[in-house]
Amino acid sequence: MTATVAAPAIRVQGLVKSYGDLRVLRGVDFDVARGSVFALLGSNGAGKTTVVRILSTLLRSDAGTATVDGFDVAARPGEVRESISLTGQFAAVDEILTGRENLVLVARLRHLPDPGVVADDLLERFRLTDAAERRVATYSGGMRRRLDIAMSLIGDPPVIFLDEPTTGLDPQARLDVWAGIRALAERGTTVLLTTQYLDEAEQLADRIAILHGGRIIADGTLAELKRLLPPATVEYVEKQPSLEDVFLAIVGTDPDSEPADVITLEEQR
């Protein structure tokens, strides 16, 4: 008896899109396995957001096909929208409401039972319980992004698109968002992540595709992509801390902790 292979959560074949004379996508192909984190890596203007907009039914392609959770994005857009959630490059939260009110509002719009319970669970998962009753206008950038991602999880969509979720965040906020994305994968959610940060793709993705010139020029696991390079030579060097290492060592990894004493360079001499 042969084992059946699960169909991919996302399948893209020959995707083409142009804006006038500008050809943004020139035949994009990739699959995303269910329950995995897939990073679409590329520089600004590479077409990453265009791919996400097509997959989330916000934009029609000129040619090619795409399916999400088994539904064709062009022929069955309604079913696709019911299967996905999208978090864009800027947090789509209501600053007038509190964090909890934002979550309750979305839960009610999705006609879920016990919206308050849903909100409280997500606040706890994303470490926002202490700020639940504060207006979102008082939140930091990292807190807004975590709330935005929490809102996208209401209704437990099987597929989530995160379009450059850490753009503009400080180092600690980036780590908080990374932890949230890892938690999504652990729960079996399929995540398509677009990013221009190489370290982000390296830290989070089960599989990485590089989008350049309107095409996928490389697609594989991190280990597979590394094998495209010549064998490394072994050298012994003294590793110096990066600025991010210094930043996190000084401020700590808990955003709610008391600040450390002021350290000046003169004291270190």
DSSP for 217-243, written as a single string: EEEE-HHHHHTTSPPPPP---PPPPPH
Q: What is the pLDDT of residue 257?
A: 55
Please report whether residue 245 resides in a domain.
no
Please report whether residue 216 resides in a domain.
yes
Please report whether residue 166 resides in a domain.
yes
Q: Which of 152-161, 182-191, 230-239 has the lowest mean pLDDT?
A: 230-239
Please tell me the total count of domains within the chain: 1
Average pLDDT on 42-67 reads 93
The per-residue pLDDT for range 73-94, each reduced to its tens digit, is: 999 999 999 999 888 777 778 8
Q: What is the pLDDT of residue 269?
A: 55
Grade residue 1 by pLDDT with cuts at 50, 70 and 90: very low
For the entire predicted model, the pTM comes to 0.79
Q: What is the pLDDT of residue 252?
A: 66
* Residue 153 phi, psi dihedral angles, 5° rounding: -90, -10
pLDDT: which is higher, 241 or 187: 187
| Cβ–Cβ under 8 Å, residues 108 and 115 | yes
Please report whether residue 105 resides in a domain.
yes
On the question of pLDDT at 145 being above 50, the answer is: yes
Please report whether residue 92 resides in a domain.
yes
Q: What is the pLDDT of residue 176?
A: 80
Please report whether residue 264 resides in a domain.
no
Grade residue 207 by pLDDT with cuts at 50, 70 and 90: very high
| Nearest-angstrom CA–CA distance, 62 and 232 | 42
The token pair that represents 56 in the structure block: 């989330």
Q: Angle at CA 217, nearest 5°, toward 214 and 234?
A: 140
| Nearest-angstrom CA–CA distance, 5 and 227 | 26
Q: What is the pLDDT of residue 92?
A: 79
| Cβ–Cβ under 8 Å, residues 48 and 40 | yes
Which range marks the domain in which residue 38 is found? 10-237
Please report whether residue 248 resides in a domain.
no
| Nearest-angstrom CA–CA distance, 98 and 104 | 10
Grade residue 266 by pLDDT with cuts at 50, 70 and 90: low
CATH code: domain of residue 219: 3.40.50.300
